[in-house]
């Protein structure tokens, strides 16, 4: 009688768990849900994105509209609502004046004559901080002492080669100021340029960073390249061999730094995409999934964007408030990431400046000034209101070529452990003392019906309490192609000094298409690396 056939041996297979990565989600969840929230990739590790701290509460109920850092003046200009404020190095605010508008985009630039120019699509306002008397804001058409102001709708403003440059919205025209004179403008041919290559209206004129005398002129459907050649009739000349059939959704999305100009674009035949201009080359840097998301937005023209450096990484952050989305593109790793507030809503930063060795921003959600950087591992609001930053990583799906079911024996990855996780909480205690006994006008003491004297309340005391918070990592698994995720398995991280770096979950069931979502929960920093999923059939 023949011997029975030997049983098939179940061999464990190790599959890479891609913890380190960005947003590579597909058009549909079934393709991939890969996404990273409030973290970026650095040196093949997943690390924190910048947190922030409220450092000045000025107009808490009014949105931040613009922020500008004056290097010669050593101060910042902030616009909250209609109010314009000068922020000193000690972060004290001085009121300068009011704009005619309280909402909408505001643009700020400066010349070499200590004049700061502000536009709000209604007027040009000039703050002369070098004036011998008390500086005031001057409004176009009202306070200008020389000539008239020819621009009907002043929009994006910039500076190049001694002249301020303003785009006149809803027209093809862009205007130059007189040399280092922010209050002298003319509609003469030596001061007015026009968008030429397509039927369009001008959005912005942006000097090319690192490009010498070059300037990029934006319309809604096209961009042109111009160069300052200092001719008498008009100093700029358009390049006859270069234009791009992608304009700009909103000038507030334009940002320039290093050799890059970045903006959110569209034209009459194409939807929203992210464009980059560098070295006379223009390219779209959106992924399939990102373009699909952008083209599904309800109001993409309401957007903002800015460039800044985080620990050597050049990052472009852009936000769509009406659609509740914010993303970051990292030029170093060429990856996208999702950024949020503590409730997974859009990130609150409108635009950011570097001042006094720190980054600062004004908020889309209120009139505070925030300091921004990786020295903050949480969101700190006024009066010690500290919120955890939601840090999530949705890994790419795990599918075997055979499409067969597999059993998930374990999932593990390397993570930094044993770091301090202390936070300082500011608590307002009960009133510390009894105040003055209240009197009537006739100096009779006031009392209750029970003859208890009525006194003023004392002042509440504020106490700073240092608390050691717990840190955990939550894992949830989707077994239906990323449509839904199951309950989370929580693993506590090691206490301070216990630096064993292994994080592992066992016996996660079976699937043939699994997606893993990892949540890093805590107030301290997180550093994570790629891992392995062990499966067998």
What's residue 437's pLDDT?
Answer: 52
The two beta strands, 366-373 and 51-59, are antiparallel
Of the candidates 327, 266, 333, the residue with the CA atom closest to the CA atom of residue 301: 266
pLDDT tens digits, 274-286: 999 987 788 888 8
What's residue 4's pLDDT?
Answer: 59
Give me the residue spans of the domains in the chain: 13-48+394-420+469-536, 425-466
pLDDT range class, residue 493, cuts 50, 70, 90? confident
Of the candidates 502, 426, 430, the residue with the CA atom closest to the CA atom of residue 464: 426
Of the candidates 502, 501, 492, 500, the residue with the CA atom closest to the CA atom of residue 468: 492
pLDDT range class, residue 79, cuts 50, 70, 90? very high
Return d(Cα 515, Cα 486) in angstroms, integer: 11
282 beta partners: 277
Return d(Cα 312, Cα 106) in angstroms, integer: 29
Return d(Cα 91, Cα 89) in angstroms, integer: 5
pLDDT tens digits, 231-253: 878 999 998 887 788 889 999 99
Query: Does the pLDDT of residue 407 top 50, yes or no?
Result: yes
Return d(Cα 232, Cα 226) in angstroms, integer: 16
Spatial strand order in the sheet of 137-139? 107-110, 115-119, 124-128, 137-139
pLDDT tens digits, 141-161: 666 644 578 999 999 999 999
Return d(Cα 249, Cα 185) in angstroms, integer: 27
For the chain, the average pLDDT equals: 87
What integer is the mean pLDDT of 126-151? 73
What's residue 403's pLDDT?
Answer: 87
Return d(Cα 407, Cα 238) in angstroms, integer: 64
pLDDT tens digits, 157-190: 999 999 999 999 999 999 999 999 998 998 888 9
What integer is the mean pLDDT of 380-404? 90
Using a cut of 0.85, tell me whether the model's pTM lies above it.
Answer: yes
Question: Domain 13-48+394-420+469-536's class?
Answer: mainly beta
Return d(Cα 511, Cα 483) in angstroms, integer: 14
Query: Does the pLDDT of residue 81 top 70, yes or no?
Result: yes
């Amino acid at each position: 009688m023949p011997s029975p056939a030997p049983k098939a041996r179940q061999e464990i297979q190790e599959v890479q768990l891609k913890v380190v990565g960005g947003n590579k989600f597909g058009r549909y969840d079934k393709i991939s849900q890969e996404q990273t929230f409030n973290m970026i990739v650095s040196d093949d590790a997943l690390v924190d994105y910048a947190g922030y701290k409220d450092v000045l509460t000025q107009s808490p109920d009014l949105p931040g509209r613009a922020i500008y850092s004056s290097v010669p003046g050593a101060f910042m200009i902030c616009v909250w609502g209609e109010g314009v404020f000068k922020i000193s190095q000690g972060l004290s605010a001085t009121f300068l004046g009011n704009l005619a508008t309280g909402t909408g985009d505001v643009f700020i630039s400066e010349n070499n004559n200590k004049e700061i120019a502000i536009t709000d699509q209604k007027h040009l306002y000039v703050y002369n901080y070098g004036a011998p008397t008390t500086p005031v804001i001057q409004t176009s058409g009202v306070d200008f002492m020389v000539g008239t102001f020819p621009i009907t709708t002043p929009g994006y403003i910039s500076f190049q080669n001694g002249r301020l440059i303003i785009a006149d919205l809803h027209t093809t025209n862009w205007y130059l100021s007189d040399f280092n004179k922010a209050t002298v403008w003319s509609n003469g041919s030596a001061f007015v340029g026009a968008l030429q290559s397509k039927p369009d209206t001008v959005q912005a004129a942006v000097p090319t960073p690192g490009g010498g005398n070059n300037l990029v002129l934006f319309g809604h459907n096209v961009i042109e390249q111009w160069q300052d050649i200092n001719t008498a009739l008009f100093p700029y000349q358009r390049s006859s061999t270069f234009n791009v059939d992608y304009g700009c959704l909103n000038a507030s999305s334009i940002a320039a730094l290093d050799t890059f100009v970045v903006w959110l674009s569209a034209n009459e035949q194409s939807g929203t995409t992210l464009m980059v201009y560098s070295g006379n080359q223009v390219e779209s840097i959106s992924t399939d999934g990102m373009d699909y998301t952008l083209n599904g937005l309800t109001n993409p023209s309401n957007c903002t964007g800015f460039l800044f450096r985080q620990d050597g990484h050049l990052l472009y952050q852009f936000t769509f408030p009406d659609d509740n989305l914010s993303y970051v593109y990292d030029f170093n790793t060429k990856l996208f990431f999702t950024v949020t507030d503590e409730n997974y809503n859009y990130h609150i930063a409108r635009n950011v400046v570097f001042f006094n060795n720190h980054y600062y921003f004004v908020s889309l959600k209120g009139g505070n000034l925030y300091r921004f950087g990786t020295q903050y591992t949480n969101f700190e609001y006024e009066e010690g209101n500290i919120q955890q930053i939601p840090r999530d990583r949705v890994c790419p799906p795990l599918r075997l070529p055979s499409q067969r079911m597999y059993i998930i024996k374990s999932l593990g990855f390397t993570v930094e452990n044993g770091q301090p996780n202390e936070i300082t909480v500011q608590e307002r205690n009960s009133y510390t003392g009894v105040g003055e006994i209240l009197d009537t006008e006739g100096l009779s003491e006031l009392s209750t019906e029970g003859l208890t004297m009525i006194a003023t309340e004392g002042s509440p005391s504020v106490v700073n309490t240092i608390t050691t918070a717990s840190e955990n990592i939550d894992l949830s698994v989707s077994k239906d192609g990323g449509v839904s995720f199951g309950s989370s398995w929580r693993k506590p991280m090691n206490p301070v000094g216990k630096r064993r770096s292994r994080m592992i979950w066992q016996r996660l069931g079976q699937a043939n298409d699994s997606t893993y979502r990892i949540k890093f929960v805590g107030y301290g920093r997180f550093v994570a690396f790629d891992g392995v999923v062990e499966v067998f059939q």
